[in-house]
């Protein structure tokens, strides 16, 4: 394990409530971890989104918020940080990632368009479909196999990509860094260059979901191109026409997002739209202090020691589980360890929601909150689904110590050894959109 490049200056109390209280809490939350109260959670591995600890430097920046309606100096600092670190000229701030996806999709997609993606992310796919486009998967086959340890599962299948460009009206190619749904898996520079060549051949822009770009850059540094992280980040962006970013992950803030791009004409149209949906083009739904913390977070995230510790901490946790026999997705990703529920509870069929009950049982057993990434969150409309059944254990940045992670790993290994006692669920309430957030279940 790598030594942490920080020490702790402030603490937030947490409490492990008794097992019978956890059973009650989970029952009252209808076996959906999104419906638990955070005060009933001991270690929260629901998401790495907006859950990072800010640095003293970022908190100092909070005090320097310039809350002017227009032309805040914090916006200028943010603009400069994005230009320096990512290398794009034009910036549109948004309240979070899905605000950026909304504007980009509405302006770039028209009815009947098909958008090739390396797997889906929930909100990106939803915005492509709301804009009357069709999401198409052009990821490599390895990305769909949790037991395949290929190092760059975030790569695109070039034949599928080209076939899509030949056969369909394509507004842009959409590439996600460290693909969340494949397990937090990176693309490599070689594939990126090849994707770019194909984009050039068919004169299509390349857009990257750069939410976890720095984690992707770390894997490139370790496995392909040994350069400082800031150089790799700039190099990746040099191939992109634009990026959408949820700043709640890599960028070390609790709220925020942005679009960054090169095309001035498109930028002007995005700026015109941001004022309708988000806020003025110099704040986009963020307060001045948020923008200052973000500007500082962006400079901190490309520190080589920071990112090495972050990704290696995830790897340490994953290896502890692996050594204890728990079936996980390999290789271990950048932001999370994904348990393979199909192998953890093989006796529970997919129509009894194996990942959902496993995430509920993990909570009852340990007080650790995790996220279902199986049929409940994976299904779209009437589309048949027989894909991955995963439980995501997502590690917030700079928040938990090795002791926390050891406790979580030990509890899950213990649960794995009595997994046969776990029984399936039936759904009692199903919301229409993004059903996993509010769906309710009961035990069979
Ligand atoms: C995560 C999230 C938050 C989330 C969103 C929807 C369902 C469950 C959890 C958000 C992302 C993301 C990528 C690659 C865009 C967004 C949206 N991830 N791209 O992993 O991972 O950003 O949440 O700031 O709107 O828990 P936003």
3-state SS string over the chain? CCCCCCCCCCCCCCCCCCHHHHHHHHHHCCCCHHHCCHHHCCEECCCCCCCCCCCHHHHHHHCCCCCCCCCCHHHHHHHHHHHHHCCCCEEEEECCHHHHHHHHHHHHCCCCCEEEECCCCHHHHHHHHHCCCEEEECECHHHHCCCCCCCCCCCECHHHHHHHHHHCCCCCEEEECCEHHHCCECCCHHHHHHHHHHHHHCCCCEEEECCCHHHHHHHHHHHCCCCCHHHHHHHHHHCCCEEEEECCCCCCCCCCEEEEECCHHHHHHHHHHHHHHCCCCCCCCCCHHHHHHHHHHHHHHCCHHHHHHHHHHHHHHHHHHHHCCCCECCCCCCCEEEEEHHHHCCCCCHHHCHHHHHHHHHHHHHCEECEEECHHHHCCCCCCCCCCCEEEEECCCCCCCHHHHHHHHHHHHHHHCCHHHCCCEEEEECCCCCHHHCCEEEEC
**What is the reported pLDDT for 1?**
75
- pLDDT at residue 378, rounded to an integer: 81
How far, CA to CA in Å, does 2 sit from each of 76, 137, 297?
35, 36, 21
283 catalytic residue (yes or no): no
- In whole angstroms, give the CA distance from residue 90 to residue 182: 31
Residue from 249, 289, 320, 397 carrying the catalytic annotation: 249
Q: Is it true that the peptide bond before 343 is cis, omega within 30 degrees of 0?
A: no
Q: Identify the pLDDT of residue 120.
A: 87
Core vs surface per residue 118-144: b (16+ CB within 10 A) or e: bbbbbbbbbbbbebebbbbbbbbebbe
Q: What is the pLDDT of residue 258?
A: 98
Regions of the chain short of the pLDDT cut 50 = none
Return the best residue to mutate from 123, 178, 356 for the ligand 1 pocket (most ligand atoms within 8 A of CB): 123
Cβ(318)–Cβ(406) below 8 Å: no
Alpha-carbon distance of 25 to 23, in angstroms, equals 6
> 441 C-alpha vs ligand 1 centroid, how far in Å?
23
Q: Which of 325, 300, 318, 330 is nearest to 397 (CA)?
A: 300
Task: List the residue whose alpha carbon is closest to atom 2 of ligand 1.
Answer: 49
Q: What is the pLDDT of residue 211?
A: 98
User: Could you tell me if 258 and 83 are in contact, meaning their C-beta atoms sit under 8 angstroms apart?
Assistant: no
385 neighbors 52 (Cβ within 8 angstroms):
no
CA of 245 to the centre of ligand 1 (A): 10
Residues 6+ apart with CB under 8 A from 289: 61, 62, 63, 64, 65, 67, 74
Residue 381's pLDDT is 64
Query: Is 19 designated active site?
Result: no
Distance, CA 434 to ligand 1 centroid (Å)?
12
Q: What is the pLDDT of residue 434?
A: 85
Q: Is 440 a catalytic residue?
A: no
Please tell me the residue having the least CA distance from ligand 1 atom 18. 49
Q: To 10 degrees, the CA torsion angle through 228, 233, 236, 239?
A: -120
Pocket-testing residue among 48, 120, 121, 255, ligand 1, by greatest number of atoms within 8 A of Cβ: 121
Name the residue at shortest CA distance from atom 15 of ligand 1: 97
Q: Side-chain half-sphere of 410: how many Cα atoms within 13 Å?
A: 6
pLDDT per residue as tens digits for the range 163-210? 999 999 999 999 999 999 889 999 999 999 999 999 999 999 999 999
pLDDT in the model for residue 371: 97
Task: State how far the alpha carbon of 330 is from the alpha carbons of 145, 326, 350, 409, in Å.
Answer: 9, 12, 21, 16
Examine the residue annotation and report whether 121 is marked as an active-site residue of this protein: yes
The closest-lying atom of ligand 1 relative to the alpha carbon of residue 50 is: 24
Q: Which structure tokens are listed for 249?
A: 């992950």
With tokens 């209808």, the residue in question is 30
Residue nearest to atom 14 of ligand 1 (CA): 211
Distance (angstroms) between ligand 1 centre and the Cα of 49 equals 7
What does the pLDDT read at residue 209?
98
């Amino acid at each position: 394990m790598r030594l942490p490049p920080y020490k702790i200056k402030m603490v937030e109390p947490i409490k492990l409530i008794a097992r019978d209280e956890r059973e009650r809490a989970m029952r009252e939350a209808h076996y959906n971890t999104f419906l638990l109260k955070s005060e009933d959670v001991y270690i929260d591995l629901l998401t790495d989104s907006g859950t990072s600890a800010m640095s003293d430097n970022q908190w100092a920046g909070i005090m320097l918020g310039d809350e002017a309606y227009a032309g805040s100096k914090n916006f200028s600092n943010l603009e400069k940080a994005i230009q320096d670190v990512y290398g794009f000229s034009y910036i549109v701030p948004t309240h979070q990632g899905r605000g950026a996806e909304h504007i980009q999709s509405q302006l770039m997609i028209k009815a009947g368009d098909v958008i090739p993606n390396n797997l889906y992310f929930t909100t990106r796919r939803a915005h492509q479909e709301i804009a009357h486009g069709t999401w198409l998967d052009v990821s490599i086959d390895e990305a769909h196999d949790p037991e395949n340890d290929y190092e760059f599962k975030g790569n695109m299948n070039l034949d599928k990509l080209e076939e899509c460009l030949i056969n369909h009206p394509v507004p842009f190619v959409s590439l996600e860094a460290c693909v969340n749904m494949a397990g937090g898996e990176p693309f490599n520079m070689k594939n990126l260059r090849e994707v770019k060549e194909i984009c050039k051949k068919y004169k299509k822009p390349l857009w990257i979901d750069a939410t976890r770009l720095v984690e992707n850059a770390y894997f490139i540094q370790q496995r392909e191109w040994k350069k400082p992280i800031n150089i790799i980040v700039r190099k990746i962006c040099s191939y992109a026409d634009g990026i959408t970013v949820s700043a709640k992950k890599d960028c070390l803030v609790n709220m925020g997002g942005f679009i960054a791009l090169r095309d001035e004409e498109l930028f002007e149209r995005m700026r015109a739209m941001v004022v309708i949906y988000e806020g003025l083009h110099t704040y986009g739904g963020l307060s001045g202090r948020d923008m200052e913390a973000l500007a500082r977070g962006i400079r901190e995230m490309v520190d080589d020691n920071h990112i090495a510790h972050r990704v290696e901490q995830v790897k340490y946790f994953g290896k502890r589980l692996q050594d204890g026999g728990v079936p996980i997705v390999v290789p271990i990703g950048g932001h999370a360890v994904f348990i393979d529920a199909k192998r953890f509870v093989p006796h529970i069929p997919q129509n009894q929601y194996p990942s959902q009950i496993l995430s509920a049982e993990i909570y009852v057993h340990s007080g650790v909150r995790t996220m279902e990434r199986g049929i409940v969150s994976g299904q779209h409309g009437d589309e048949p689904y027989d894909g991955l059944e995963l439980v995501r254990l997502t590690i917030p940045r700079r928040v938990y110590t090795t002791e926390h992670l050891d406790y979580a790993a030990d509890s899950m290994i213990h649960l794995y050894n009595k997994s046969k006692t776990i029984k399936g669920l039936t759904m009692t309430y199903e919301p229409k959109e993004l059903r996993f957030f509010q769906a309710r279940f009961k035990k069979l």
